[in-house]
């Protein structure tokens, strides 16, 4: 009897969210999922794409009418190197830009700051001043391209740079299109590139949302991100729940400032991970759309249909890539690409085969882009609006995940919302526990990783990788020295002083940041002005 139970346990299979996978699936008989025909027969409710609750997609025609934006994440070294990569990828068919920044830029330090030593240009491009931003987009008309910037704590400064560069090219703010990630809550949860405490950080995000609603109407001022929480170890269900809980916090921040829901909700966007658990990932995107639409309609009482639509960017999972046998990563990324497309993403970045080793080489980045293009033009999956609809397995996953998401959201609400839950360490603890489970499964070979814990090659050769030398840091330091010597010091002092003074009031800070940028204040100087008023965030140790 014991042996039989053990065998039954071994025969049970689970998704990454720990949902049991049955051997075979039949139509559900749940009343709320089915309608009755006049003859008494049952059929699934006929939800349509482009209509509430948008489970099947936010546009009626989806990719039959327009493909997703192919937005490869690029940025390394200095602005000139990044500009060259941007132009190369656009030449190869990329349809949108996505900008990666180095750690000093992300946490508000200039290239010559002691904290920046050894990190300049390493994990993204170094942008220390408006001059760097001009170089990064030299020859790229900002009014004719959509740019996503993966930046959070210093997002307001980088958006100000972008606006000023656009103006210098002859484009008004209203002509600029793109996204700033600008999701500080997930930084406290999983990524840790925060600067200020939560309250002033949320204030900066509210300022950006309010400013963009009036001055940069085609810009998405925040991309509420589940990606980093998923990469840190959470399940697909937790990714949806935690991301939507954070979205509620941002929405409430804007409402508290006196904004009306339909004035800003259409320009909220999201960013999700796509791992290799194919069906669960497709289900995740469907559930996220449906739950978000219900929250906006039933809780926030949004009237504009565009406010109810969850628009999201997807990135294939970097955490799933392996340093061993890196060419296998091309296959992993292809599967994840198809899941993201089946799930209805609006834009997509496909990771490169060598990203477990270093920043991608130009050739690897091209292969990643070609993966998207092959899926778009050769696979045939873009011909149907929602090709996975009607799958018994998928529908079962959707029903169970949706139920689990609502339970998490209610639990977080009872804690007082996302900020309180973060302060209590709830998100962090949940992610940590699941990450530990995944590691144990890999170590025990319950989770097979090809080339890592099975099918290893002892004599495999590593590919050529991209290396960023110390010359970039030295060059950036020299450029900053010249900038500080040549700028109008009186104009700079006045702008930085006004910025600090405004931070002590409840004024919208975006106009003051733009004036500081125009006065040639640097990324670090603007961040220091805020640090002097807001202070720095020091996390409590959570066990």
Q: Are residues 354 and 262 in the same domain?
A: yes
> Bigger pLDDT: 247 or 72?
247
Q: What per-residue confidence (pLDDT) applies to 430?
A: 97
* Angle, CA 401 vertex, CA 395 and CA 403 arms, to 5°: 105
Last residue of a domain, one of 443, 472, 505: 443
Q: Is residue 302 part of a domain?
A: yes
Local structure of 314: helix, strand or coil? strand
Q: Is residue 263 part of a domain?
A: yes
- The answer to whether 307 and 265 have CB atoms below 8 angstroms apart is yes
Report the Cα 35 to chain-centroid distance in Å.
Answer: 37
Q: Is residue 93 part of a domain?
A: no
- The answer to whether 321 and 452 have CB atoms below 8 angstroms apart is no
Q: Are residues 523 and 395 in the same domain?
A: no
Q: What per-residue confidence (pLDDT) applies to 7?
A: 53
Structural tokens at position 162: 């972008």
Bridge partner list, 227:
none
Q: Are residues 502 and 413 in the same domain?
A: no
In 10 A of CB 201, how many CB atoms? 23
Q: Are residues 507 and 432 in the same domain?
A: no
The mean of the pLDDT values for the chain is: 93
Lowest mean pLDDT among 6-20, 71-85, 177-191, 506-520: 6-20
Closest C-alpha to 316, from 401, 247, 227: 227
- pLDDT-based confidence at residue 44 (cuts at 50, 70, 90): very low
Q: Is residue 34 part of a domain?
A: no
Region 500-516: mean pLDDT is: 97
> Bigger pLDDT: 9 or 510?
510
User: What are the b/e assignments for 9-32, b being 16+ CB within 10 Å?
Assistant: eeeeeebbbebeeeeeeeeeeeee
Residue 41 has pLDDT above 50, yes or no: no
Q: Are residues 426 and 488 in the same domain?
A: no
**The domain spanning residue 308 has which CATH number?**
3.20.20.240
CA dist 157 and 105 (Å) reads 10
53 preceded by a cis bond (ω within 30 of 0): yes
Q: What per-residue confidence (pLDDT) applies to 40?
A: 46
Q: Are residues 413 and 524 in the same domain?
A: no
Give 197-227 pLDDT, tens digit per residue.
999 999 999 999 999 999 999 999 999 999 9
Domain hosting residue 186, numbered range = 181-443
Q: Which residues contact 363 (CB under 8 A, 6 or more apart)?
A: none
Q: Are residues 416 and 504 in the same domain?
A: no
Give 265-298 pLDDT, tens digit per residue.
999 999 999 999 999 999 999 999 999 999 999 9
- The answer to whether 476 and 121 have CB atoms below 8 angstroms apart is yes
Structural tokens at position 471: 């010359």
Residue 8 has pLDDT above 60, yes or no: no
Question: From start to end of 219-308, where are the E strands?
Answer: 219-220, 222-225, 268-274
* DSSP structure string for 91-145: HTT--EEEEEB-HHHHTT--TTSGGGTTTTTTSSB---SHHHHHHHTTT--GGGS
User: What are the b/e assignments for 51-69, b being 16+ CB within 10 Å?
Assistant: eebbbbbbbeebbeeebbb
Closest C-alpha to 227, from 176, 187, 267, 287: 187
Q: Are residues 494 and 414 in the same domain?
A: no
Q: Are residues 286 and 365 in the same domain?
A: yes
Closest C-alpha to 82, from 104, 99, 107: 99
Q: Are residues 430 and 505 in the same domain?
A: no
Within 13 Å and on the Cβ side, how many CA atoms surround 229? 32
Q: What per-residue confidence (pLDDT) applies to 9?
A: 52
pTM attached to this predicted model: 0.91
Last residue of a domain, one of 391, 425, 443: 443
Percent of the chain with pLDDT over 70: 93
Give 100-147 pLDDT, tens digit per residue.
999 999 999 999 999 999 999 999 999 999 999 999 999 999 999 999
Closest C-alpha to 300, from 270, 246, 261: 261
Q: Are residues 521 and 393 in the same domain?
A: no
Q: Is residue 20 part of a domain?
A: no
* Angle, CA 417 vertex, CA 416 and CA 418 arms, to 5°: 135
Give 308-353 pLDDT, tens digit per residue.
999 999 999 999 999 999 999 999 999 999 999 999 999 999 999 9
Q: Is residue 227 part of a domain?
A: yes
* Angle, CA 74 vertex, CA 72 and CA 76 arms, to 5°: 165
Last residue of a domain, one of 391, 413, 443: 443
Q: Which residues contact 324 (CB under 8 A, 6 or more apart)?
A: 451, 452, 456, 457, 460
Give 477-490 pLDDT, tens digit per residue.
999 999 999 999 99
Q: Are residues 300 and 228 in the same domain?
A: yes
Q: Taking the chain, what is the end-to-end CA distance rounded to the nearest angstrom? A: 40
Q: Is residue 89 part of a domain?
A: no
Residue 10 has pLDDT above 80, yes or no: no
Closest C-alpha to 289, from 274, 261, 316, 270: 270
Q: What per-residue confidence (pLDDT) applies to 29?
A: 45
CA dist 81 and 274 (Å) reads 29
Q: Is residue 124 part of a domain?
A: no
Phi, psi of 419 (to 5 degrees): -60, -45
Query: What single DSSP character describes residue 508?
Result: -
Structural tokens at position 295: 């929250």
Number of domains in the chain: 2
């Amino acid at each position: 009897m014991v042996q039989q139970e053990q065998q039954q346990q071994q025969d049970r299979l689970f998704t990454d969210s720990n949902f049991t996978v049955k051997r075979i699936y039949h139509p559900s008989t749940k009343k709320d999922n089915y309608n009755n025909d006049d003859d008494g027969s049952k059929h699934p409710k006929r939800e349509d794409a482009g209509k509430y609750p948008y489970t099947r997609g936010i546009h009626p025609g989806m990719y039959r009418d327009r493909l997703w934006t192919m937005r490869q994440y690029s940025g390394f070294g200095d602005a000139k190197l990044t500009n060259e990569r941007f132009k190369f990828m656009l030449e190869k068919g990329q349809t949108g830009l996505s900008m990666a920044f180095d750690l000093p830029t992300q946490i508000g330090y200039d290239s010559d700051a002691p904290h920046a030593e050894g990190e300049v240009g390493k994990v993204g491009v170094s942008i220390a001043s408006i001059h760097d931003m001009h170089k990064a987009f030299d020859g790229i008309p900002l009014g004719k391209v959509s740019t996503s910037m993966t930046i959070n704590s210093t997002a307001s400064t980088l958006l100000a740079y972008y606006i000023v560069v656009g103006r210098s090219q002859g484009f008004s703010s209203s002509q600029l299109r793109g996204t700033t990630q600008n999701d500080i809550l997930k930084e406290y949860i999983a990524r840790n590139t925060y600067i200020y405490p939560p309250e002033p950080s949320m204030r900066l995000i509210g300022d950006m949302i309010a400013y963009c609603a009036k001055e940069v109407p085609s810009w998405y001022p925040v991309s509420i991100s589940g990606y980093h929480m998923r990469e840190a170890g959470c399940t697909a269900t937790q990714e949806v729940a935690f991301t939507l809980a954070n979205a509620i916090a941002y929405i409430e921040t804007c409402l508290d400032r006196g904004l009306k829901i339909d004035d800003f909700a259409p320009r909220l966007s999201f960013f999700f991970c796509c791992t290799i658990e194919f069906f669960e990932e497709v289900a995740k995107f469907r559930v996220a759309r449906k739950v978000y639409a219900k929250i906006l309609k039933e809780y926030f009482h949004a009237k504009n249909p565009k406010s109810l639509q969850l628009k999201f960017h997807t990135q294939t999972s970097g955490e799933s890539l392996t340093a061993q046998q890196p060419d296998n990563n091309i296959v992993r990324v292809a599967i994840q690409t198809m899941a993201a497309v089946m799930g209805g993403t609006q834009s997509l970045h496909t990771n490169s085969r060598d990203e477990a080793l270093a920043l991608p080489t130009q050739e690897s980045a091209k292969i990643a882009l070609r993966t998207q293009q092959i899926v778009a033009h050769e696979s045939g999956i873009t011909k149907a609006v929602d090709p996975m609809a009607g799958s018994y397995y998928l529908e079962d996953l959707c029903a169970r995940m949706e139920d689990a998401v609502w339970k998490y959201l209610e639990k977080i609400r009872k804690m007082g919302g996302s900020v309180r839950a973060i302060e209590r360490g709830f998100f962090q603890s949940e992610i940590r526990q699941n990450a530990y489970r995944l590691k144990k499964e890999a170590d025990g070979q319950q989770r097979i990783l090809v080339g890592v814990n099975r099918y290893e090659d002892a004599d495999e050769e590593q590919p050529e990788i991209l290396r960023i030398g110390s010359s970039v840091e030295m060059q950036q330091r020299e450029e900053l020295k010249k900038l500080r010597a040549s700028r109008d010091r009186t104009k700079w002092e006045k702008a930085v002083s006004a910025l600090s003074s405004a931070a002590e009031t409840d004024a919208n800070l975006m106009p003051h940041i733009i004036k500081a940028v125009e006065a040639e204040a640097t990324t670090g100087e603007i961040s220091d002005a805020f640090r002097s008023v807001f202070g720095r965030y020091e996390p409590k140790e959570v066990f």
